[in-house]
Amino acid sequence: MSGLTLTGLEGKVAVVTGAGRMRSIGRPIAVELARAGCDVVLTGTGRAPERYPDDEQAAGWRDIDSVADEVRALGRRALPAVSNVADADAVDALVARTLDEFGRVDIVVNNAGAARGEDRKPVVDLELDAWRTVIDVNLNGTFYMSRAFGRAFVEQGNGGSIVNISSIGGKMMAANTAAYAASKAGIHALTSAMSGEMGRHQVRVNAVCPGIIDTYRMDDVPRGEVWDALIAKQVPLGRHGTGEDIAYMVVYLCSDQGSWITGQLYTVDGGTVPGR
């Protein structure tokens, strides 16, 4: 017997939110789904080029348009779409545009997330705007996407797969991360409850909880000695994760080989949070 081959993804249509960053989780998810045979809708916020990190500017990066080019280079169709997951009307419009362009939708990966920022402080010092931003993007955005595309799955009658990109932060619930931890723990509850509701429609709903991944989100931690010390302290396997580490799990969960898995919260973190 040769190696395991994932099947069931050829010709499927996947929507991946938050897919425009060069160093990210969303980009590898989109690319690996395309490599497995999916056409991909890629969403981003339409950020201005002057807001790009230095490495993206140096590379001539074009956000979701650059990722769309990577998808097309693999022989799949791509639709880059500026959309705000925290806006329910915008999400409804994204569903309509996806169905108009491709005629179907099979996979939704809720990856868009609020940037690390002023929410990382004690609850008593947390500004309302910071709390609302994190909850609106991380939790409400996942809800809006799951609700709207879930309705499309039911109407189509062909099943489907929703994968929510959460975080070990929703399991660790560490001090000074209340907004982030609450948003991710909320995603865990949403995932579990929706899986029980959608099973009769053959729609699977799972979450992946990454640990420390080397993306732009972690750029507030200086690379080098500080970064290496963080990894040595928190990751038993001794290395940071990559976007591909998360993408491989997502593709598996969307494949035929993952077809009996739903309602699960998979930790992919090099051993940082064992046993849960």
Sequence-ordered list of residues with C-beta below 8 angstroms from that of 204, at least 6 positions apart, any chain: 159, 160, 161, 162, 195, 198, 253, 258, 259, 261, 262
Q: Which residues pair with 268 in a beta bridge?
A: 210
DSSP string covering 76-116: --EEEEE--TT-HHHHHHHHHHHHHHHS---EEEE---PPS
Residue with token string 């017997």: 1
Contact 91, 145 (CB under 8 A): yes
Element holding 55 (H helix, E strand): helix 54-59
Residue position matching structure tokens 């590379």: 59
Q: Which residue among 52, 144, 180, 266 is the active-site one?
A: 180
Query: Is residue 52 annotated as a catalytic residue, yes or no?
Result: no
Backbone angles phi, psi at 108, to 5 degrees: -130, 125
Active site residues: 180
